[in-house]
Amino acid sequence: MKLSDPFDYENDLKYAESQPVSFWDDIAKKYIHWDKMYDKVYSGDEMYPDWFKGGELNTCYNVLDIQVQNPLKRDQDALIYECPFLKKTVKLTYYQLYEKVCEFSRVLLNLNISKNDNILIFMANTVEAPIAMLSCARIGATHCVLFDGYSTKSLIDRIEAVRPKVIITSNYGILNEEIITFTPNLIEAIEISTFKPDHVITHNRDLISSDAQLSIIETIPTVPSSLDWDLEINKIKENNQTPFYEYVTVESSHPLYIIYTSGTTGNSKGVVRSNGPHLVCFGYLWPSIVQKNTTFFSHTSIGWVSFHSFLYASLLHGCSFVMFEGGIVKPKHMEDDIWSIVEKHKVSAFLTLAKTIRYLNKVDPDAKQIHSKYDISSLKSIWNGGEVIEDSIPEYIENKLKSRPSIGYGQTETGYLYLFDYIKSKKNPYNTVGPPSPFVYPSILSEDGIELPVNQIGEIVFKLPLPPGFASTFYKNDEQFKKVLTKFPGYYSSGDLGYKDENGYYAIVSRADDQIKIGGNKVQLNTIETSILKHPNVIECCSIGIYNPDCYNKPIGLLTLKQQDSNVDLIQLKNEINSIITQDIDKFAQLTHIIIVEQLPKTKSGKIQRLIISKFLNDNNFKLPDHVFESQQIYTDIKNLYLNNL
């Protein structure tokens, strides 16, 4: 057999199963430039596979230099930045991005950074962040990117764990049409941390649109002895140095980046991802899920695996990647800003949060307003990920927005999609995330490790060895890494509950710890939430199980409403919602209380932090983790509302 071209799911599924080594060998040779060819495609063991052992390559060369050498790609947009709040658009062609990366790579080399060093990137969602990432890759250094809003304590934890030789930061960023600062927390973290970086480089932004904003920016403190991003680049020219057009080759297993998980289930894990396997997996995945020359738009921020993965994948295949600064929270963001960007850049694939579609479904149920204002005919597919979603979301995308709904399943640990809408000739059932990727073998297991038949809910696991691109370990925490590979011997334990239908499509129903017992009945909290969301006045919700002395749970609902009206009759609203729950599930799943909140605490990628909310409400001794520092007031408000509602 041989690799399909164009992509043929059934062919590749059979090829990967019957000849797995040849399958990955073909991919690695077809899509990746190796400076030194690997000796073996697969070695090591199933828990710690050593993919492409002996091979040497450079990630930046593969995603930039090769495109620049192609006259058809050199002047194509590689990176597009949009910030509606600043009314600013930045476009960088492959050649322009390449030049900027080579310049900043020289800056890093002048600071004696080598491939043995880690670099911490704590920056705004501007083009300078990907430039910093790619520059690290060019010189072989390992980058660790943090999203905005990190507390001082969390920054200290990252600095002391990663021990970065250089920290790269911004003076400010934009979030929800407000200026947010980076340097105050960073200054305090460096002062307290036992580890001190050799250098801090600050990208000092000065673009503002009002005197009030200027006054805020002028008060932002500067990190002591910090180097200025622009001045360091100017030094290269003043000293007659050339940009670093060369590149540093690294072994296939050399870490490209460390990325921390969202922490929705507790403490964050530092996922380590290697250069060779990472490139190879996206060499295969991207052309199997998007069309050639796709313009891909994601409004997720740096510091999240979706940004990392789709940025590198998009550049590797010569596509255009649209990034966004500002956050998608206010009505104008969901009703106008994102669709204006889709029209402006003729976006063909778009990754958004389920919250966006839920909101539109309530305020623009037939999408008439969107279609009357914007031409989104270029949009071939709209992706949702990061959480379990209800059927009304893909239904709205397909029937109202006239685009193909694609719901993928992957984790920070997996690095790329393990389940996806691969078979374009068929329509995925709305409640599924699709069939498995080639070389990915999922099963549904009971709590005691017995494989369950179709349509029965259990934990979704994936057979070892996992494909290239899976985490090589958790940074400085290999014991925790081993736990997810040994809970069910021979499988990776995802921590998610799901089932397989009779056609081999998989559905995710909740996190394993989001299942509660009510009397003798097991219920997935997200099933209750799906019923709650059917109420026309509910925009978002979160269901929590409250512990009871009689050893069962009482579900409550935290709701954000379409109309935040203080005169809402809570008893009537609860009765209306419970009527829906009774019809969909049963009477035992009815809510005992509802609490109306202005917002729910979420990760930066939009996941509701249900487990942390549950622990905070149920355990008076529970202390909120440091990584939710910015949301502490939201948790406190929820708890006060809950206690007042008893």
Both ends of the chain: CA-CA distance in Å?
65
Mean pLDDT of all residues in 336-345: 97
- Per-residue confidence (pLDDT) for residue 389, from 0 to 100: 80
Residue 274 backbone class (left: φ over 0; alpha: ψ -120 to 50; beta: rest): beta
Least confident of 309-318, 362-371, 386-395, 634-643: 386-395
Which stretch, 166-180, 245-259, 419-433, 437-451, has highest mean pLDDT?
245-259
Between 633 and 191, whose confidence is greater? 191
Percent of the chain with pLDDT over 70: 94
3-class secondary structure, 77: strand
Nearest to 557 by CA among 540, 569, 573, 542: 542
pLDDT score of 85 more than 60:
yes
- How far is it, in rounded angstroms, from Cα 643 to Cα 646? 6
Annotate 15-51 with three-state secondary structure: HHHHCHHHHHHHHHHHHCCCCECCCEEEEECCCCEEE
- Per-residue confidence (pLDDT) for residue 519, from 0 to 100: 64
Mean pLDDT of all residues in 438-446: 95
- Per-residue confidence (pLDDT) for residue 518, from 0 to 100: 75
Between 27 and 496, whose confidence is greater? 27
pLDDT digits (tens, 9 = 90+) for 408-417: 899 999 998 9
Residues in contact with 537: Cβ distance below 8 Å, sequence separation at least 6, in sequence order: 561, 562, 563, 568, 573
Least confident of 201-205, 295-299, 568-572: 568-572
Mean pLDDT of all residues in 631-643: 85
Between 211 and 274, whose confidence is greater? 274
533 domain-assigned: yes
421 domain-assigned: no
Least confident of 92-101, 212-221, 569-578: 212-221
560 domain-assigned: yes
- Per-residue confidence (pLDDT) for residue 416, from 0 to 100: 87
Please, which residues bridge with residue 93 across strands? 77
393 domain-assigned: no
Least confident of 50-64, 127-141, 196-210, 463-477: 196-210
Q: Given pLDDT bands bounded at 50, 70 and 90, which one contains residue 497? A: confident
DSSP characters over 523-571: EEHHHHHHHHTTSTTEEEEEEEEEE-TTS-EEEEEEEEESS--TT--HH
564 domain-assigned: yes
pLDDT score of 212 more than 80:
no
- Structural domain for 610, as ranges: 519-645
Nearest to 326 by CA among 178, 172, 171: 178
- How far is it, in rounded angstroms, from Cα 41 to Cα 442? 23
Least confident of 54-58, 73-77, 524-528: 524-528
Mean pLDDT of all residues in 537-565: 80
Q: Given pLDDT bands bounded at 50, 70 and 90, which one contains residue 516? A: confident
pLDDT digits (tens, 9 = 90+) for 565-599: 667 888 999 999 999 999 988 888 899 999 998 88
Q: Given pLDDT bands bounded at 50, 70 and 90, which one contains residue 619? A: confident
Residues in contact with 560: Cβ distance below 8 Å, sequence separation at least 6, in sequence order: 538, 539, 540, 541, 596, 597, 598, 599, 600
Q: Output the domain CATH number for residue 605.
A: 3.30.300.30
469 domain-assigned: no
DSSP symbol at 312: H
606 domain-assigned: yes
3-class secondary structure, 585: coil
pLDDT score of 628 more than 70:
no
How many structural domains are present in the chain?
1
257 domain-assigned: no
Between 100 and 6, whose confidence is greater? 100
